[in-house]
Amino acid sequence: MNSYEIIYSKISEMIADAKDLPLEALTPDTTLPQLELDSLDYVELMVLAKREFNVTLTAEMFMKKPHMTLRDLSLYIDQEMAG
């Protein structure tokens, strides 16, 4: 697995668990609004990114790109990790 796939996998697992969804229901093109995330879910994403990848996500980032996909988020984290 490359770094993008590892990131996507961890994020997808966290969201599937938080929203009680089968992992197969998520795809890289699933948007965050489609997942009906609440503010706590976004905080959990921010904590996961910091803890697992040492990348800081902000609420402002999510507001600037409201239709962010899981692919977009995973690629962003991957790019931030690369420096």
pLDDT of residue 28: 98
- One-letter identity of residue 32: L
Q: Structural domains in the chain?
A: 3-12+28-82 (1.10.1200.10)
Q: Does the global pTM surpass 0.75?
A: yes
Q: Are 33 and 59 in contact (CB under 8 A)?
A: no
Mean pLDDT across the chain? 94
Q: What is the pLDDT of residues 41-76, one digit of tens each?
A: 999 999 999 999 999 999 999 999 989 999 999 999
Nearest to 79 by CA among 67, 64, 63, 61: 61
